[in-house]
């Protein structure tokens, strides 16, 4: 009896310890919902929202790491009135940010003060006034810049005194997060090798009004909680000027919401719109999944001439609206949706084999796929083992990377994915500078991960140029919202306005070529078929 009790005790203890250990070791990899995305105002306050010293003369070599006026933690219920800085201001129109909504009562008044350059006035109390309560406090361009139009339901604007966090006379510091681990078999140094190539190229041409860009890079581990953690680190410790998200819808959504709550401009390749719509500081540099869907559906109907479609997405709340969007468009185009399913972010062998088998049974000719490359490769491999080889197709950012073809061929077949950037087969025609620069600074042929970084950097570079010499977060946002088109010949042309944050006009379509184990560009800057 005693021995049995011992068995039971050890077994129970083991079970509990095992669960705790794995949760810790995995960094809570398993589906972290949207709730984890936006840090609460209490979190932000605890993180120590920096006291503003905006408006500090920006002299010398030192990057302004004061935190700036746009970085105090917002909280619903705080007082301080609407922002009034600058020559004009836009009244608050309701609708606090999600973070603010979730933290009513947590006052955060009395934050930043500071004389802004130009006409900026002190902004007592860092009010998280809802939608766009924005004002450009004499930002950058000599003051008196027009306040950007409000984004419905948007977060507090980076209003008030000029915020030059991360900017000095010689440097601009930019933070990037990407899923180096967890989503795809990325070589560990691939991101590192490519992240500075464009900025070195630009520096040789004089930089951005004499400033060079310094990149701070963090691995978000394909985990939204981790993403917020690294974004917070880059904003609050590294004092970056803006944040960029490379890939991963949940991570981008989580960081974008955090950045919005801190008044930090955040740009990423287009992902879901749900959870990002209405964020004052968010901008998509390429088409969102929803925007890619009409071209995708028209390709299936007119080029592939297939009728049976299955839809498979990662099981994350951020993709609910994306699933509705593709379903609606496919049905409208007369496609027969034979199966819809969601698979776990870290799907098991059993789950993927079951899914592959169900897809085969459904008779789907085309599988719309929106999962991580790891899940895609495993699903396709299991499908192949079941003698099932449909055409995999989808929107996205990372499934068209060559590493996917290297690891997934021949199982992925002639898979087709939309992409913000073209593949290496056409880059010399579109932008000959990429390979030359990569060769020059890294001593080898540039890969497509480097190309993705090159394209994104080029977009950001043109935006920074447009923001003018007197760079601040306010002038940057104003430049983006001006309606100006940003053209790179790598990423699609993109333009925004006060209300439009998903402003890309086209996308590239890539196709896997399993003979060369790489993706080829089959359509450039396409808007439909």
Partner 1 sequence: MPNLLASRSALVATAIAVVVAALMAASGQKQALVIGVITGAGYGLVALGLVLIYKSSGVFNFAQGEFGTVAVYTLFRLHDKIGVPLLLAMLIGLAASMALALATERAVIRPLFDAPRVTLLVATAGVALLAISLELWLGEARLRFIQPALGRLDRISLFGVQVSDQRLLVLAALLMLAVLLGLFFSRTNLGLAILGVSQEPVATELMGISVRRLSSFTWALTGLLAGIAGMLTAPVVGSFGPGFLTFNALIPGFTAAVLGGMTSLPGAFVGGVIVGVAQSFAVSGFQDVPFLKEIPGPGAVMVFVILVVVLAIRPQGLLGKAS
Q: Which residue has the tokens 């009135």?
A: 81
Q: How far is the CB of 117 from partner 1 (least distance, A)?
A: 44
Q: Are 454 and 466 in contact (CB under 8 A)?
A: no
Query: 8 or 46, CB closer to partner 1?
Result: 8
> 196 CB contacts (<8 Å, ≥6 apart)?
215, 441
Q: How far is the CB of 71 from partner 1 (least distance, A)?
A: 31
Phi, psi values for residue 367, rounded to 5°: -110, 115
Tokens read off for 157: 């604007």
Query: 1 or 305, CB closer to partner 1?
Result: 1
- CA pair distance 482, 146, nearest whole angstrom: 10
Tokens read off for 263: 């008044």
Calculated CA dihedral for residues 480, 486, 491, 493, nearest 10 degrees:
100
Query: 148 or 179, CB closer to partner 1?
Result: 179
Q: How far is the CB of 30 from partner 1 (least distance, A)?
A: 6
Beta strand pairing call for 416-419 and 507-513: antiparallel
149-180 in b/e burial notation, b at 16+ Cβ within 10 A?
bbbebbbbbbbbbbbbbbbbeebbbbbbbbbb
Query: 6 or 46, CB closer to partner 1?
Result: 6
Q: How far is the CB of 353 from partner 1 (least distance, A)?
A: 5
Query: 62 or 361, CB closer to partner 1?
Result: 361
Query: 19 or 46, CB closer to partner 1?
Result: 19
Query: 185 or 414, CB closer to partner 1?
Result: 185
- CA pair distance 355, 376, nearest whole angstrom: 11
- CA pair distance 72, 82, nearest whole angstrom: 15
Q: How far is the CB of 186 from partner 1 (least distance, A)?
A: 6
Q: How far is the CB of 342 from partner 1 (least distance, A)?
A: 7
Q: How far is the CB of 331 from partner 1 (least distance, A)?
A: 20
Query: 11 or 46, CB closer to partner 1?
Result: 11
Judged by phi (left if over 0) then psi (alpha if -120 to 50, else beta), residue 65 lies in alpha
Q: How far is the CB of 351 from partner 1 (least distance, A)?
A: 5
Residues in the chain: 529
Query: 30 or 46, CB closer to partner 1?
Result: 30
Strands in 246-299 per DSSP E: 266-268, 282-284
Q: How far is the CB of 220 from partner 1 (least distance, A)?
A: 13
Q: What angle do CA 101, 104, 110 make, to 5 degrees?
A: 105
Q: How far is the CB of 350 from partner 1 (least distance, A)?
A: 4
Calculate Rg over the CA atoms of the chain: 24
Q: How far is the CB of 19 from partner 1 (least distance, A)?
A: 8
Judged by phi (left if over 0) then psi (alpha if -120 to 50, else beta), residue 442 lies in alpha
Query: 164 or 177, CB closer to partner 1?
Result: 177
Closest CA to 124 of 79, 89, 158: 79
Q: How far is the CB of 298 from partner 1 (least distance, A)?
A: 29
Query: 117 or 179, CB closer to partner 1?
Result: 179
> 67 CB contacts (<8 Å, ≥6 apart)?
49, 50, 51, 52, 53, 165, 236, 239
Query: 31 or 152, CB closer to partner 1?
Result: 31
The count of other CB atoms within 10 Å of the CB of residue 203 is 15
- CA pair distance 332, 525, nearest whole angstrom: 24
- CA pair distance 181, 370, nearest whole angstrom: 18
User: Binding residues for partner 1, per CB under 8 A?
Assistant: 1, 3-4, 6-8, 10-15, 17-19, 21-22, 25-26, 29-31, 180-181, 184-188, 219, 315-316, 341-342, 344-351, 353-355, 357-358, 361, 374, 377-378, 381-382, 384-387, 407-408
Q: Are 138 and 117 in contact (CB under 8 A)?
A: yes
């Amino acid at each position: 009896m005693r021995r049995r009790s011992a068995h039971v005790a050890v077994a129970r203890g083991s079970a509990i310890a095992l669960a705790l250990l794995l949760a810790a070791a995995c960094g809570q990899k398993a589906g972290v919902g949207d709730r984890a995305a936006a840090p609460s105002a209490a979190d932000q306050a605890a993180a120590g929202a920096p006291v503003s010293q905006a408006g500090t003369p920006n002299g010398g070599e030192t990057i302004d790491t004061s935190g700036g006026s746009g970085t105090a933690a917002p909280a619903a219920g705080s007082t301080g009135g609407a922002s009034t800085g600058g020559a004009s201001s836009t009244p608050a129109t309701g609708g606090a940010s999600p973070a603010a909504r979730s933290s009513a009562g947590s006052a955060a008044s009395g934050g930043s003060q500071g004389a802004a350059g130009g006409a900026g006035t002190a902004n007592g109390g860092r009010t998280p006034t809802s939608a766009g309560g924005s004002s450009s406090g004499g930002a950058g361009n000599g003051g008196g810049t027009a306040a950007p139009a409000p984004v419905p339901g948007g977060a507090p604007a980076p209003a008030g005194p000029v915020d030059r966090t991360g900017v000095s006379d010689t440097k601009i510091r930019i933070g990037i997060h990407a899923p180096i681990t967890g989503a795809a078999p990325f070589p560990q140094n691939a991101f590192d090798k490519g992240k500075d190539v464009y900025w070195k190229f630009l520096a040789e041409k004089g930089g951005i009004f004499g400033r060079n860009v310094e990149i701070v890079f963090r691995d978000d581990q394909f985990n939204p909680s981790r993403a917020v953690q690294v974004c917070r680190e880059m904003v609050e410790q590294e004092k970056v000027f803006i944040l960029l998200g490379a890939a991963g819808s949940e991570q981008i959504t989580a960081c974008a919401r955090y950045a919005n709550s801190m008044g930090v401009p955040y740009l990423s390749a287009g992902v879901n719109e749900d959870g990002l719509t209405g964020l004052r500081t968010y901008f998509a540099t390429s088409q969102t999944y929803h925007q890619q869907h009409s071209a995708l559906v028209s390709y299936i109907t007119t080029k592939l001439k297939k009728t049976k479609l299955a839809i498979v997405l990662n099981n994350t709340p951020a993709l609910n609206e994306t699933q509705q969007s593709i379903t609606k468009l496919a049905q409208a185009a007369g496609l027969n949706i034979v199966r819809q399913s969601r698979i776990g972010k870290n799907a098991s062998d059993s789950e993927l084999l079951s899914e592959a088998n169900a897809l085969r049974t459904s008779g789907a000719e085309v599988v719309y796929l929106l999962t991580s490359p790891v899940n895609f490769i495993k699903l396709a491999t299991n499908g192949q083992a079941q003698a099932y080889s449909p055409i995999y197709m989808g929107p996205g950012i990372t499934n068209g990377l060559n590493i996917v073809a290297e690891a997934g061929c021949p199982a992925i077949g002639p898979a087709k994915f939309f992409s913000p950037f073209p593949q290496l087969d056409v880059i010399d025609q579109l932008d000959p500078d990429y390979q030359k620069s990569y060769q020059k600074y890294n001593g080898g042929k540039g890969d497509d991960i480097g190309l993705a970084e090159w394209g994104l950097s080029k977009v950001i570079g043109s935006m920074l140029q447009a923001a003018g010499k007197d760079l601040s977060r306010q002038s940057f946002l104003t430049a983006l919202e001006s309606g100006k088109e940003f053209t790179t010949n790598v990423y699609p042309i993109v333009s925004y306005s006060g209300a439009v944050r998903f402003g890309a006009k086209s996308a590239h379509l890539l196709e896997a070529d399993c003979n060369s184990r790489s993706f080829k560009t089959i359509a450039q800057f396409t808007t439909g078929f």
